[in-house]
Structure 1
Amino acid sequence: MRDVYTVKLSRLSDEVLEMGNLCGQAIMKTCQLLASVEVREAATKEIGRIEKEIDDKEHNIEALCMQLLLKQQPVGTDLRKISAALKMVTDMERIGDQATDIAEILNTGSVHVPVTAIPLQEMADYAMHMVNDSVTAYVEGKSDLAKKVISSDDILDNLFDKVRNALDQNTMDFSSDEVLDLLMISKYYERIGDHATNIGEWAEFSVDGIHRNGDSISDLFNPDSL
Protein backbone atom coordinates (compact mmCIF):
# COMPACT_ATOMS: atom_id res chain seq x y z
CA MET A 1 0.00 0.00 0.00
CA ARG A 2 2.86 2.35 0.85
CA ASP A 3 4.47 1.64 -2.54
CA VAL A 4 1.31 2.85 -4.28
CA TYR A 5 1.42 6.01 -2.18
CA THR A 6 5.08 6.65 -3.07
CA VAL A 7 4.36 6.16 -6.76
CA LYS A 8 1.43 8.57 -6.64
CA LEU A 9 3.47 11.17 -4.76
CA SER A 10 6.20 10.91 -7.39
CA ARG A 11 3.57 11.18 -10.10
CA LEU A 12 2.32 14.40 -8.50
CA SER A 13 5.75 16.00 -8.96
CA ASP A 14 5.84 14.82 -12.57
CA GLU A 15 2.38 16.23 -13.28
CA VAL A 16 3.22 19.60 -11.72
CA LEU A 17 6.46 19.74 -13.73
CA GLU A 18 4.59 18.95 -16.94
CA MET A 19 2.00 21.63 -16.20
CA GLY A 20 4.76 24.14 -15.54
CA ASN A 21 6.45 23.22 -18.81
CA LEU A 22 3.18 23.81 -20.64
CA CYS A 23 2.93 27.27 -19.09
CA GLY A 24 6.46 28.02 -20.25
CA GLN A 25 5.60 26.86 -23.76
CA ALA A 26 2.53 29.10 -23.88
CA ILE A 27 4.60 32.14 -22.86
CA MET A 28 7.26 31.25 -25.43
CA LYS A 29 4.59 31.16 -28.15
CA THR A 30 3.50 34.69 -27.24
CA CYS A 31 7.14 35.73 -27.79
CA GLN A 32 6.88 34.33 -31.31
CA LEU A 33 3.72 36.35 -31.89
CA LEU A 34 5.51 39.51 -30.79
CA ALA A 35 8.39 38.79 -33.14
CA SER A 36 6.65 37.87 -36.39
CA VAL A 37 3.27 38.15 -38.05
CA GLU A 38 4.06 35.13 -40.21
CA VAL A 39 3.63 32.71 -37.30
CA ARG A 40 0.43 34.32 -36.05
CA GLU A 41 -2.08 31.66 -37.07
CA ALA A 42 0.07 28.65 -36.13
CA ALA A 43 1.25 30.13 -32.81
CA THR A 44 -2.27 31.16 -31.80
CA LYS A 45 -3.63 27.68 -32.47
CA GLU A 46 -0.76 26.19 -30.50
CA ILE A 47 -1.44 28.46 -27.52
CA GLY A 48 -5.09 27.39 -27.60
CA ARG A 49 -4.07 23.73 -27.63
CA ILE A 50 -1.61 24.29 -24.78
CA GLU A 51 -4.22 26.11 -22.70
CA LYS A 52 -6.54 23.12 -23.04
CA GLU A 53 -3.74 20.82 -21.86
CA ILE A 54 -3.08 23.13 -18.91
CA ASP A 55 -6.75 22.97 -17.93
CA ASP A 56 -6.70 19.17 -18.17
CA LYS A 57 -3.54 19.02 -16.05
CA GLU A 58 -5.16 21.19 -13.40
CA HIS A 59 -8.08 18.78 -13.07
CA ASN A 60 -5.76 15.73 -13.03
CA ILE A 61 -3.53 17.19 -10.33
CA GLU A 62 -6.47 18.25 -8.18
CA ALA A 63 -7.93 14.73 -8.42
CA LEU A 64 -4.57 13.15 -7.59
CA CYS A 65 -4.10 15.45 -4.59
CA MET A 66 -7.52 14.60 -3.22
CA GLN A 67 -6.83 10.87 -3.63
CA LEU A 68 -3.60 11.24 -1.68
CA LEU A 69 -5.20 13.35 1.04
CA LEU A 70 -8.32 11.25 1.57
CA LYS A 71 -6.86 7.75 1.17
CA GLN A 72 -3.36 8.13 2.58
CA GLN A 73 -3.76 10.88 5.21
CA PRO A 74 -0.23 12.27 4.71
CA VAL A 75 1.57 14.33 7.34
CA GLY A 76 4.61 16.59 7.55
CA THR A 77 6.52 17.29 4.35
CA ASP A 78 4.21 15.13 2.23
CA LEU A 79 1.14 17.01 3.44
CA ARG A 80 2.80 20.33 2.65
CA LYS A 81 3.82 19.13 -0.81
CA ILE A 82 0.31 17.97 -1.67
CA SER A 83 -1.46 21.01 -0.24
CA ALA A 84 0.99 23.36 -2.00
CA ALA A 85 0.28 21.65 -5.33
CA LEU A 86 -3.44 22.28 -4.86
CA LYS A 87 -2.70 25.99 -4.57
CA MET A 88 -0.10 26.18 -7.34
CA VAL A 89 -2.27 24.71 -10.07
CA THR A 90 -4.67 27.64 -9.79
CA ASP A 91 -1.86 30.08 -10.56
CA MET A 92 -0.59 27.93 -13.41
CA GLU A 93 -4.06 27.71 -14.94
CA ARG A 94 -4.30 31.50 -14.86
CA ILE A 95 -0.92 31.79 -16.56
CA GLY A 96 -2.35 29.75 -19.44
CA ASP A 97 -5.37 32.05 -19.56
CA GLN A 98 -3.18 35.15 -19.69
CA ALA A 99 -1.00 33.76 -22.47
CA THR A 100 -4.22 33.20 -24.42
CA ASP A 101 -5.32 36.77 -23.66
CA ILE A 102 -2.01 38.10 -25.01
CA ALA A 103 -2.46 36.07 -28.20
CA GLU A 104 -6.00 37.41 -28.62
CA ILE A 105 -4.80 41.02 -28.32
CA LEU A 106 -2.07 40.44 -30.89
CA ASN A 107 -4.55 38.81 -33.27
CA THR A 108 -7.50 41.15 -32.96
CA GLY A 109 -5.90 44.41 -31.82
CA SER A 110 -3.93 47.07 -33.60
CA VAL A 111 -0.37 46.10 -32.62
CA HIS A 112 2.09 45.81 -35.48
CA VAL A 113 4.85 43.23 -35.11
CA PRO A 114 7.72 42.87 -34.59
CA VAL A 115 7.58 45.00 -31.46
CA THR A 116 11.13 46.22 -30.83
CA ALA A 117 10.79 49.78 -29.49
CA ILE A 118 9.73 48.63 -26.02
CA PRO A 119 11.08 45.78 -23.82
CA LEU A 120 8.09 43.45 -24.15
CA GLN A 121 10.23 40.52 -25.27
CA GLU A 122 12.43 41.04 -22.23
CA MET A 123 9.35 40.97 -20.01
CA ALA A 124 8.12 37.78 -21.66
CA ASP A 125 11.50 36.05 -21.30
CA TYR A 126 11.81 37.04 -17.66
CA ALA A 127 8.27 35.93 -16.86
CA MET A 128 8.93 32.57 -18.52
CA HIS A 129 12.11 32.04 -16.46
CA MET A 130 10.26 32.94 -13.26
CA VAL A 131 7.57 30.35 -14.00
CA ASN A 132 10.12 27.66 -14.86
CA ASP A 133 12.24 28.37 -11.77
CA SER A 134 9.27 28.44 -9.39
CA VAL A 135 8.04 25.04 -10.58
CA THR A 136 11.57 23.61 -10.47
CA ALA A 137 11.91 24.90 -6.88
CA TYR A 138 8.79 22.92 -5.92
CA VAL A 139 9.66 19.71 -7.77
CA GLU A 140 13.30 19.63 -6.62
CA GLY A 141 12.65 20.99 -3.13
CA LYS A 142 14.92 24.00 -3.59
CA SER A 143 13.92 26.63 -1.07
CA ASP A 144 16.74 28.97 -2.15
CA LEU A 145 15.50 28.94 -5.74
CA ALA A 146 11.97 29.66 -4.54
CA LYS A 147 13.26 32.64 -2.57
CA LYS A 148 15.13 33.87 -5.66
CA VAL A 149 11.92 33.81 -7.71
CA ILE A 150 10.02 35.67 -5.01
CA SER A 151 12.65 38.40 -4.74
CA SER A 152 12.94 38.77 -8.52
CA ASP A 153 9.32 39.87 -8.94
CA ASP A 154 10.51 43.45 -8.43
CA ILE A 155 12.63 43.11 -11.58
CA LEU A 156 9.58 42.29 -13.68
CA ASP A 157 7.71 45.19 -12.08
CA ASN A 158 10.59 47.46 -13.09
CA LEU A 159 10.41 46.14 -16.65
CA PHE A 160 6.71 46.98 -16.68
CA ASP A 161 7.61 50.54 -15.68
CA LYS A 162 10.19 50.61 -18.52
CA VAL A 163 7.49 49.61 -21.01
CA ARG A 164 5.22 52.42 -19.81
CA ASN A 165 8.06 54.93 -19.98
CA ALA A 166 9.10 53.74 -23.44
CA LEU A 167 5.53 54.16 -24.68
CA ASP A 168 5.44 57.66 -23.22
CA GLN A 169 8.67 58.54 -24.97
CA ASN A 170 7.68 57.03 -28.33
CA THR A 171 4.15 58.33 -28.68
CA MET A 172 4.77 59.29 -32.31
CA ASP A 173 5.53 55.64 -33.15
CA PHE A 174 2.25 54.21 -31.86
CA SER A 175 -1.43 54.99 -32.24
CA SER A 176 -3.53 55.42 -29.10
CA ASP A 177 -5.07 51.98 -29.71
CA GLU A 178 -1.63 50.40 -30.01
CA VAL A 179 -0.51 52.04 -26.78
CA LEU A 180 -3.50 50.59 -24.92
CA ASP A 181 -2.95 47.14 -26.40
CA LEU A 182 0.75 47.16 -25.60
CA LEU A 183 0.09 48.32 -22.05
CA MET A 184 -2.43 45.53 -21.61
CA ILE A 185 0.03 42.93 -22.93
CA SER A 186 2.75 44.18 -20.59
CA LYS A 187 0.27 44.05 -17.71
CA TYR A 188 -0.49 40.41 -18.50
CA TYR A 189 3.23 39.59 -18.39
CA GLU A 190 3.47 41.41 -15.09
CA ARG A 191 0.56 39.33 -13.77
CA ILE A 192 2.25 36.15 -14.97
CA GLY A 193 5.20 37.20 -12.82
CA ASP A 194 2.84 37.64 -9.87
CA HIS A 195 1.54 34.10 -10.39
CA ALA A 196 5.10 32.77 -10.61
CA THR A 197 5.81 34.54 -7.32
CA ASN A 198 2.77 32.84 -5.76
CA ILE A 199 4.04 29.47 -7.02
CA GLY A 200 7.45 30.26 -5.54
CA GLU A 201 5.86 31.05 -2.18
CA TRP A 202 4.05 27.70 -2.15
CA ALA A 203 7.26 25.95 -3.23
CA GLU A 204 9.02 27.58 -0.28
CA PHE A 205 6.16 26.48 2.00
CA SER A 206 6.39 22.88 0.76
CA VAL A 207 10.06 22.76 1.76
CA ASP A 208 10.27 24.96 4.86
CA GLY A 209 6.72 24.80 6.19
CA ILE A 210 6.51 28.59 6.16
CA HIS A 211 4.19 30.67 4.00
CA ARG A 212 4.70 34.40 3.76
CA ASN A 213 0.97 35.12 3.99
CA GLY A 214 0.77 33.25 7.28
CA ASP A 215 -1.43 30.44 5.90
CA SER A 216 -1.52 27.29 7.97
CA ILE A 217 -2.36 23.75 6.91
CA SER A 218 -5.87 24.18 8.35
CA ASP A 219 -6.36 27.32 6.23
CA LEU A 220 -5.56 25.32 3.11
CA PHE A 221 -8.51 23.01 3.65
CA ASN A 222 -11.04 25.70 4.35
CA PRO A 223 -13.72 25.11 1.66
CA ASP A 224 -13.60 28.79 0.75
CA SER A 225 -9.89 28.50 -0.15
CA LEU A 226 -10.20 25.52 -2.52
Structure 2
Amino acid sequence: MFRQNFEDELNDLHVRFSEMGMMVNEAIYKSVNAFINHDKALAKEVIAADKHINERETDLEKRSFEMIALQQPVTSDLRMIVTVMKASSDLERMGDHAVSIAKSTIRVKGNVRVPEIEQVLAEMATKVKQMVEEVLDAYVKADIKRATDIAAEDKNVDAFSNKIYQMCVAQMQADSETIVGAMDYMLVDNFLERIGDYVTNICEWIVYLDTGKLVELNSNAKEDNVL
Protein backbone atom coordinates (compact mmCIF):
# COMPACT_ATOMS: atom_id res chain seq x y z
CA MET A 1 0.00 0.00 0.00
CA PHE A 2 2.80 2.37 0.94
CA ARG A 3 4.58 1.66 -2.34
CA GLN A 4 1.39 2.16 -4.35
CA ASN A 5 0.81 5.57 -2.75
CA PHE A 6 4.37 6.55 -3.58
CA GLU A 7 3.96 5.38 -7.19
CA ASP A 8 0.79 7.47 -7.47
CA GLU A 9 2.58 10.55 -6.15
CA LEU A 10 5.47 9.96 -8.53
CA ASN A 11 3.11 9.63 -11.48
CA ASP A 12 1.30 12.80 -10.43
CA LEU A 13 4.65 14.62 -10.35
CA HIS A 14 5.37 13.30 -13.83
CA VAL A 15 2.00 14.54 -15.17
CA ARG A 16 2.31 17.97 -13.55
CA PHE A 17 5.73 18.45 -15.10
CA SER A 18 4.38 17.57 -18.54
CA GLU A 19 1.53 20.03 -18.07
CA MET A 20 4.04 22.73 -17.14
CA GLY A 21 5.93 21.98 -20.33
CA MET A 22 2.78 22.50 -22.40
CA MET A 23 2.14 25.80 -20.61
CA VAL A 24 5.66 26.98 -21.46
CA ASN A 25 5.39 25.87 -25.07
CA GLU A 26 2.16 27.82 -25.43
CA ALA A 27 3.82 30.89 -23.93
CA ILE A 28 6.68 30.67 -26.43
CA TYR A 29 4.27 30.29 -29.35
CA LYS A 30 2.07 33.19 -28.25
CA SER A 31 4.97 35.51 -27.44
CA VAL A 32 6.55 35.15 -30.87
CA ASN A 33 3.20 35.45 -32.63
CA ALA A 34 2.54 38.61 -30.63
CA PHE A 35 5.91 40.05 -31.63
CA ILE A 36 5.64 39.19 -35.33
CA ASN A 37 2.02 40.36 -35.59
CA HIS A 38 2.55 43.42 -33.38
CA ASP A 39 -0.21 42.10 -31.10
CA LYS A 40 0.22 43.84 -27.75
CA ALA A 41 -2.96 42.31 -26.31
CA LEU A 42 -1.59 38.80 -26.90
CA ALA A 43 1.75 39.87 -25.43
CA LYS A 44 0.00 41.03 -22.25
CA GLU A 45 -1.77 37.66 -22.11
CA VAL A 46 1.62 35.89 -22.10
CA ILE A 47 2.90 38.12 -19.30
CA ALA A 48 -0.23 37.57 -17.19
CA ALA A 49 -0.12 33.79 -17.66
CA ASP A 50 3.49 33.55 -16.51
CA LYS A 51 2.39 33.52 -12.86
CA HIS A 52 0.79 30.11 -13.47
CA ILE A 53 4.10 28.76 -14.80
CA ASN A 54 5.94 30.14 -11.78
CA GLU A 55 3.34 28.68 -9.42
CA ARG A 56 3.64 25.27 -11.08
CA GLU A 57 7.43 25.31 -10.74
CA THR A 58 7.14 26.20 -7.04
CA ASP A 59 4.55 23.45 -6.54
CA LEU A 60 6.75 20.85 -8.24
CA GLU A 61 9.73 21.85 -6.13
CA LYS A 62 7.69 21.64 -2.92
CA ARG A 63 6.23 18.24 -3.81
CA SER A 64 9.68 16.95 -4.78
CA PHE A 65 11.28 17.99 -1.49
CA GLU A 66 8.39 16.46 0.46
CA MET A 67 8.71 13.16 -1.37
CA ILE A 68 12.46 13.02 -0.76
CA ALA A 69 12.04 13.86 2.94
CA LEU A 70 9.04 11.64 3.70
CA GLN A 71 9.36 8.73 1.29
CA GLN A 72 13.12 8.18 1.22
CA PRO A 73 12.98 6.98 -2.41
CA VAL A 74 15.34 4.39 -3.85
CA THR A 75 17.97 5.48 -6.37
CA SER A 76 15.94 5.23 -9.59
CA ASP A 77 12.94 7.01 -8.06
CA LEU A 78 15.19 9.67 -6.58
CA ARG A 79 16.64 10.31 -10.02
CA MET A 80 13.17 10.96 -11.38
CA ILE A 81 12.37 13.41 -8.60
CA VAL A 82 15.66 15.25 -9.09
CA THR A 83 15.03 15.34 -12.85
CA VAL A 84 11.62 16.95 -12.34
CA MET A 85 13.09 19.55 -9.98
CA LYS A 86 15.95 20.49 -12.28
CA ALA A 87 14.05 20.31 -15.57
CA SER A 88 11.11 22.31 -14.21
CA SER A 89 13.58 25.04 -13.28
CA ASP A 90 14.74 25.05 -16.92
CA LEU A 91 11.11 25.26 -18.07
CA GLU A 92 10.50 28.20 -15.75
CA ARG A 93 13.45 30.08 -17.27
CA MET A 94 12.12 29.32 -20.76
CA GLY A 95 8.84 30.90 -19.66
CA ASP A 96 10.76 33.95 -18.46
CA HIS A 97 12.29 34.34 -21.93
CA ALA A 98 8.84 34.11 -23.49
CA VAL A 99 7.79 36.95 -21.19
CA SER A 100 10.83 38.95 -22.30
CA ILE A 101 9.76 38.51 -25.94
CA ALA A 102 6.25 39.66 -24.99
CA LYS A 103 7.67 42.72 -23.25
CA SER A 104 9.65 43.54 -26.41
CA THR A 105 6.35 43.56 -28.28
CA ILE A 106 4.82 46.04 -25.87
CA ARG A 107 7.93 48.24 -25.86
CA VAL A 108 7.96 48.71 -29.65
CA LYS A 109 6.37 52.05 -30.54
CA GLY A 110 6.10 52.74 -34.24
CA ASN A 111 9.55 51.46 -35.15
CA VAL A 112 10.16 50.66 -38.79
CA ARG A 113 9.72 46.92 -39.22
CA VAL A 114 11.61 44.60 -41.58
CA PRO A 115 9.40 41.73 -42.84
CA GLU A 116 12.37 39.71 -44.11
CA ILE A 117 13.93 39.54 -40.65
CA GLU A 118 10.57 38.86 -39.02
CA GLN A 119 10.08 35.91 -41.38
CA VAL A 120 13.37 34.33 -40.28
CA LEU A 121 12.48 34.99 -36.63
CA ALA A 122 9.18 33.19 -37.19
CA GLU A 123 11.03 30.22 -38.72
CA MET A 124 13.44 30.16 -35.79
CA ALA A 125 10.55 30.26 -33.33
CA THR A 126 8.84 27.37 -35.14
CA LYS A 127 12.01 25.31 -34.81
CA VAL A 128 12.36 26.12 -31.10
CA LYS A 129 8.70 25.29 -30.46
CA GLN A 130 9.17 21.96 -32.25
CA MET A 131 12.19 21.16 -30.07
CA VAL A 132 10.21 21.94 -26.91
CA GLU A 133 7.39 19.63 -28.00
CA GLU A 134 9.85 16.87 -28.89
CA VAL A 135 11.80 17.10 -25.64
CA LEU A 136 8.60 16.85 -23.60
CA ASP A 137 7.64 13.71 -25.53
CA ALA A 138 11.15 12.31 -25.07
CA TYR A 139 10.85 12.97 -21.33
CA VAL A 140 7.53 11.12 -21.09
CA LYS A 141 9.00 8.14 -22.95
CA ALA A 142 12.42 8.40 -21.23
CA ASP A 143 13.93 8.18 -24.71
CA ILE A 144 17.68 8.81 -24.44
CA LYS A 145 18.43 8.49 -28.15
CA ARG A 146 15.74 10.99 -29.05
CA ALA A 147 16.93 13.37 -26.34
CA THR A 148 20.44 13.21 -27.77
CA ASP A 149 19.12 13.86 -31.28
CA ILE A 150 17.04 16.82 -30.09
CA ALA A 151 20.07 18.37 -28.38
CA ALA A 152 21.99 18.06 -31.65
CA GLU A 153 19.25 20.07 -33.38
CA ASP A 154 20.26 23.10 -31.31
CA LYS A 155 22.91 23.80 -33.96
CA ASN A 156 20.04 24.70 -36.28
CA VAL A 157 18.78 27.24 -33.76
CA ASP A 158 22.28 28.69 -33.53
CA ALA A 159 22.38 28.92 -37.34
CA PHE A 160 19.12 30.89 -37.32
CA SER A 161 20.56 33.13 -34.61
CA ASN A 162 23.69 33.89 -36.62
CA LYS A 163 21.64 34.59 -39.75
CA ILE A 164 19.35 37.00 -37.93
CA TYR A 165 22.30 38.80 -36.36
CA GLN A 166 23.94 39.29 -39.76
CA MET A 167 20.66 40.47 -41.30
CA CYS A 168 20.14 42.98 -38.48
CA VAL A 169 23.65 44.41 -38.78
CA ALA A 170 23.26 44.78 -42.56
CA GLN A 171 19.84 46.39 -42.12
CA MET A 172 21.09 48.92 -39.56
CA GLN A 173 23.98 49.86 -41.84
CA ALA A 174 21.63 50.30 -44.81
CA ASP A 175 18.89 52.26 -43.05
CA SER A 176 19.38 54.10 -39.76
CA GLU A 177 15.60 54.29 -39.33
CA THR A 178 15.58 50.54 -38.60
CA ILE A 179 18.24 50.59 -35.87
CA VAL A 180 15.82 50.51 -32.92
CA GLY A 181 13.66 47.81 -34.49
CA ALA A 182 16.70 45.73 -35.48
CA MET A 183 17.96 45.84 -31.90
CA ASP A 184 14.61 44.41 -30.79
CA TYR A 185 14.97 41.64 -33.37
CA MET A 186 18.40 40.83 -31.97
CA LEU A 187 16.97 40.69 -28.45
CA VAL A 188 14.19 38.31 -29.47
CA ASP A 189 16.74 36.25 -31.39
CA ASN A 190 18.82 35.97 -28.22
CA PHE A 191 15.82 34.94 -26.11
CA LEU A 192 14.92 32.18 -28.59
CA GLU A 193 18.52 30.99 -28.71
CA ARG A 194 18.56 30.74 -24.91
CA ILE A 195 15.32 28.74 -24.95
CA GLY A 196 17.07 26.31 -27.30
CA ASP A 197 19.89 26.00 -24.76
CA TYR A 198 17.41 25.14 -22.01
CA VAL A 199 15.90 22.45 -24.23
CA THR A 200 19.40 20.94 -24.40
CA ASN A 201 19.56 21.09 -20.60
CA ILE A 202 16.34 19.07 -20.36
CA CYS A 203 17.78 16.56 -22.84
CA GLU A 204 20.72 16.14 -20.47
CA TRP A 205 18.33 15.49 -17.56
CA ILE A 206 16.55 12.82 -19.61
CA VAL A 207 19.90 11.06 -20.05
CA TYR A 208 20.55 11.42 -16.32
CA LEU A 209 17.13 9.97 -15.53
CA ASP A 210 18.03 6.72 -17.27
CA THR A 211 21.77 6.45 -16.60
CA GLY A 212 22.46 8.37 -13.40
CA LYS A 213 25.18 10.25 -15.27
CA LEU A 214 25.35 13.98 -15.89
CA VAL A 215 26.52 14.47 -19.45
CA GLU A 216 27.10 17.64 -21.39
CA LEU A 217 25.45 17.16 -24.76
CA ASN A 218 26.86 19.01 -27.77
CA SER A 219 30.23 18.66 -26.04
CA ASN A 220 32.82 16.00 -25.31
CA ALA A 221 32.71 16.83 -21.62
CA LYS A 222 31.24 14.19 -19.31
CA GLU A 223 30.90 13.77 -15.59
CA ASP A 224 30.94 10.68 -13.38
CA ASN A 225 27.97 8.82 -11.97
CA VAL A 226 25.84 10.85 -9.58
CA LEU A 227 23.10 8.51 -8.39
TM over 0.5: yes
Q: Which moved more, 1:164-173 or 1:27-36?
A: 164-173
| In the alignment, structure 1 residue 85 sits paired with structure 2 residue 94 | no
1:36–1:113 CA contact under 8 A, matched in 2? no
Partners of 1:60 and 1:34 in 2: how far apart?
30
Q: Secondary structure at the match of 1:211?
A: strand
Which of 148, 172, 177 is 2:180 aligned to?
Answer: 177
Q: 1:215 to 1:26 in 2, by over 3 A?
A: farther
Query: How much does 1:217 deviate?
Result: 3.5
* Contact preservation (8 Å) 1:137, 1:143: yes
Q: What RMSD in Å do the two structures reach over aligned CA positions? A: 2.0
How far apart, in 1, do the equivalents of 2:196 and 2:111 lie? 24
Asked if 1:31 is matched to 2:40, the reply is: no
Which residue of 1 is the match for residue 153 of structure 2? 152
1:167 aligns with 2:168: yes
Partner amino acid for 1:207? D
User: Which residue does 2:53 correspond to in 1?
Assistant: 54
Match of 1:187 among 166, 190, 196: 190
Q: Does 1:202 align with 2:211?
A: no
Query: Are 1:127 and 2:136 counterparts?
Result: no
Runs of 5+ consecutive residues of structure 2 not aligned to the other structure? 217-222
Contact in 1 for aligned 2:35/2:43 (Cα 8 Å): no
Q: Which residue of 1 aligns with 2:62?
A: 63
1: distance between equivalents of 2:15 and 2:82? 16
Q: Is the 8 A contact 1:35 1:114 kept in 2?
A: no
Runs of 4+ displaced beyond 6 Å? none
Q: What do residues 66-85 of structure 1 show as CA deviations (whole Å, max 9, x unaligned)?
A: 12211221223212111111
Q: Which residue is 1:223 aligned to?
A: none
Render the CA deviation track for 1:139-164: whole Å, top value 9, x for unaligned.
Answer: 22111121112111111111100101
Given that residues 111 and 181 in structure 1 are in contact (C-alpha distance below 8 angstroms), is that contact kept between their aligned partners in structure 2?
Answer: no
**Cα distance, 1:190–1:114 mapped onto 2, change above 3 Å:** same
Determine whether 1:95 maps to 2:94.
yes
Which segment drifts farther, 71-80 or 187-196?
Answer: 71-80
What is the deviation of 1:209?
Answer: 2.1
Assess if the C-alpha contact under 8 Å between 2:112 and 2:178 holds in 1. no
**CA deviations over 1:18-66 (Å, ceiling 9, x no partner):** 11001100011012213323x321x123212321111011011111111
The alignment's TM-score, normalised by the length of structure 1, stands at: 0.88
Q: Which amino acid aligns with 1:217?
A: V
Instruction: Structure 1: state its 5+ residue gaps.
Output: 219-226
Q: CA deviation at 1:210?
A: 2.2
Could you tell me how far apart the structure 1 residues matched to 2:6 and 2:166 are? Answer: 53
What is the one-letter code of the residue matched to 1:161?
A: N
Question: Equivalent residue for 1:221?
Answer: none
